[in-house]
Structure 1
């Protein structure tokens, strides 16, 4: 029978495994995103908009799990870079709609190879990546409860 794990060792912490892996993943993305002029949070926002353009700021924030205090400056920088516009919804002026510009839509082509490069860098095969992503989504959903 093996000895129980010490719950207070750093390497036994799930939170540290997730945190340190996240730091390294973000570091891996940096040079790839530098080539297209985006930060990692900006890339996530653009991924969301490439998937569904013309969403409200609140819907975008919910999808990215970001509050407006974090999201608004990020969107302002993307707007200043000419990648998107923000405008009041004519039907409900309380809502601000985010829309890609032509330049923002065109950037998608330049970003197209990033996921393949990331998968290759992990050393995992596609089924392993899909399984890990599925398990992380389940963990996120459980933690959100």
Structure 2
């Protein structure tokens, strides 16, 4: 049971990150989920909803609603997949790409203000530890 304090710290760290990140995204008019989708689609060719779900942290049930709202705002477009008419291809519109080009570097800079408090070695160690933790599950 010595892992229980680690789980608590992991959850607290994620909650702190989410609060820090979400407050900035809210100030620029986006949710974490919307940003995740826009960031994933930015500078990329169209992808299926399945691919988008796999590349983001968005569950299938949530993805549908968020895509509908982003499409309604003119940020993304969904078109029938020419290779498989049962699926749709999702991409950013021109307005969506412009939004990506504005908010992505802005948010990365914002996150960088927190991460710059760590040394390069600490970042590398954290990355290794998190990858090791992910791999055991």
TM-score bin, normalised by smaller chain: 0.7 to 0.9
- CA deviations 1:61-92 (Å, max 9, x no partner) are 11224431121112112112211011211221
Q: Root-mean-square deviation (CA), in Å?
A: 2.2
Matched residues in 2 for 1:91 and 1:84: separation?
20
Matched residues in 1 for 2:109 and 2:77: separation?
29
In the superposition, the TM-score normalised over structure 1's length comes to 0.79
The alpha carbon displacement at 1:53 in A equals 3.2
User: Are 1:26 and 2:21 an aligned pair?
Assistant: no
RCO comparison, higher one (Cα < 8 Å, 6+)? 2
Tell me which residue corresponds to 1:136: 130
Structure 1 residues 126 and 102: CA distance shift in structure 2, 3 A: farther
In structure 1, runs of 5+ residues without a counterpart are 1-5
User: Are 1:99 and 2:94 an aligned pair?
Assistant: no
Partner residue of 1:50 out of 32, 37, 42? 42
Matched residues in 1 for 2:135 and 2:58: separation?
16
Structure 1 residues 124 and 131: CA distance shift in structure 2, 3 A: same
In structure 2, runs of 5+ residues without a counterpart are none
